[in-house]
Structure 1
Amino acid sequence: MSSQAQSVADVTNKCRSAQEDGQLDLSNCKLEKVPDAIFVFFMDKQPESCNLSGNTLSKIPAKLGKKFHLLKEFIASGNKLCDLPSSLGTMANLSHLDLSHNAFTVFPAVIYSLPSLKELNVEMNHIERVDVGKLVESGNLQSLNVRNNPLDAETKAAVQQWKHQLTICYTELESQSAEN
């Protein structure tokens, strides 16, 4: 079986498994884009969790936010993402979002509209500014990981202001590289 045929078979098997347990795990599947076929598998019942980590995705399709709007957990770490579709704002139940180890330079504004978000990980991106106060005020945020991002002075001050009200993981890039 060719490598591409094997990848398709792997994704198909993982989708079938997720139909039973609600946990769609397409991590490390060598995906360059989110396959449209996953939306066909979940026409009747949506998954609660979607893991797309460890692929080479540069884009999340708008369809994901529309078709998987009941997700509670979305993991897309270790890809090449630099933006999110506004349709992710329809994910009213999303409580855990992991976008670490991607290529974001701007904090995705759609994140501010996620009312159930409790845990957010944007570690190891290139984000300079995060409106931490807006994040806290927009919902139920309990944990924010902004480690290894080149945060601007305003964001650093906000991290200090809010660190007593939620768990914030933060290290400066300069100090991190100086320690190693």
Structure 2
Amino acid sequence: MKPPTYNSEAVQQISQEEGERNVATAVCVQLAGRAIIRVVSRCEEAQDNCNLDLSECQLMQVPDAVYHLMRHTELKSCDLSGNVITKIPPKLAVKFSLITELNLSHNQISKLPDELAELQELLRLDISHNAFIALPSVVCRIPQLKRLQANNNSIIDIDAERIKRAPSLEFVDLRENTIPPRIYDLLCCIDNITIELSPRQVEDWDDLNI
């Protein structure tokens, strides 16, 4: 039986590809390790100052370990901005029930859990630069919420009457959204809350005298 023959160039190419994959894997592990160290370090800082800053930590979700590390700390604020989070878990409102400020901006969130209404001390909420197409109704049920940043989303659905009846809202930023003309006009009629809107875009048919 003749021994198998090997194409030296093919073997070299395979070895090179495997080497590149190993390097890529090592880089990913290194980056993940750095992200974990960053999260743990910021949790430790929050244990001292009661302000949890997990911005720009490459998070896809809030790790369970964070709730564990914060279990003996009464947080005043939570910053999760600049990550790739798509979903906020209901237990965030339970575990961080005393926060007065929550920053969820610059993520990929499209919905909020109803449990956020249980944040009895929350004064400021930032959900700007996300993937919302409807303004979450829960924001109008947060009892002490005064300022809401919802700019730079893709919001087309807003319950203007619910905003008007929100218990404590004083300011809402809805700029850079695709708000339909009918809802835009309803928002402009609200006089008990300051609502920031982008200039209304005049559609072609608005100029027609029909």
Q: TM-score when scaled to structure 2?
A: 0.78
> Which residue of structure 1 aligns with residue 177 of structure 2?
149
Correspondent of 1:113 among 117, 120, 141 = 141
> Pairwise mapping of residues 92-171 of structure 1 onto structure 2 (< 5 A)?
92-162=120-190, 164-171=191-198
Unaligned runs of 5+ in 1: 176-180
CA-to-partner distance for each residue in 1:103-142, whole Å, 9 max, x for gaps?
A: 0112112112101010001101111122233223221111
Give the paired residue count. Answer: 174
Correspondent of 1:76 among 104, 112, 131 = 104
> Which residue of structure 1 aligns with residue 79 of structure 2?
51
Which structure's relative contact order is higher, taking Cα pairs within 8 Å and 6+ residues apart?
1
Alignment root-mean-square deviation, CA = 1.6
**Contact kept in structure 1, 2:87 and 2:109, CA below 8 Å:** yes
> Which residue of structure 2 aligns with residue 65 of structure 1?
93
**Contact kept in structure 1, 2:122 and 2:145, CA below 8 Å:** yes
Higher mean C-alpha displacement, 28-37 vs 132-141: 132-141
Q: Does 1:22 align with 2:56?
A: no
Which has the greater radius of gyration? 2
Tell me, in whole angstroms, the C-alpha distance in 2 between the residues paired with 1:142 and 1:112: 11
Q: Using the TM superposition, give the Cα deviation of residue 174 of structure 1 relative to its aligned residue in structure 2, in angstroms.
A: 4.1
Tell me, in whole angstroms, the C-alpha distance in 2 between the residues paired with 1:21 and 1:136: 35
What amino acid sits opposite 2:103 in the alignment?
Answer: I
**Contact kept in structure 2, 1:113 and 1:138, CA below 8 Å:** yes
CA-to-partner distance for each residue in 1:83-111, whole Å, 9 max, x for gaps?
A: 11111111011110000000011211211
Unaligned runs of 5+ in 2: 1-28, 203-210
Q: TM-score when scaled to structure 1?
A: 0.90
Tell me, in whole angstroms, the C-alpha distance in 1 between the residues paired with 2:98 and 2:161: 26
Tell me, in whole angstroms, the C-alpha distance in 1 between the residues paired with 2:149 and 2:182: 19
**Contact kept in structure 2, 1:132 and 1:158, CA below 8 Å:** yes
What percent of counterpart residues are identical?
Answer: 32
Tell me, in whole angstroms, the C-alpha distance in 2 between the residues paired with 1:70 and 1:132: 28
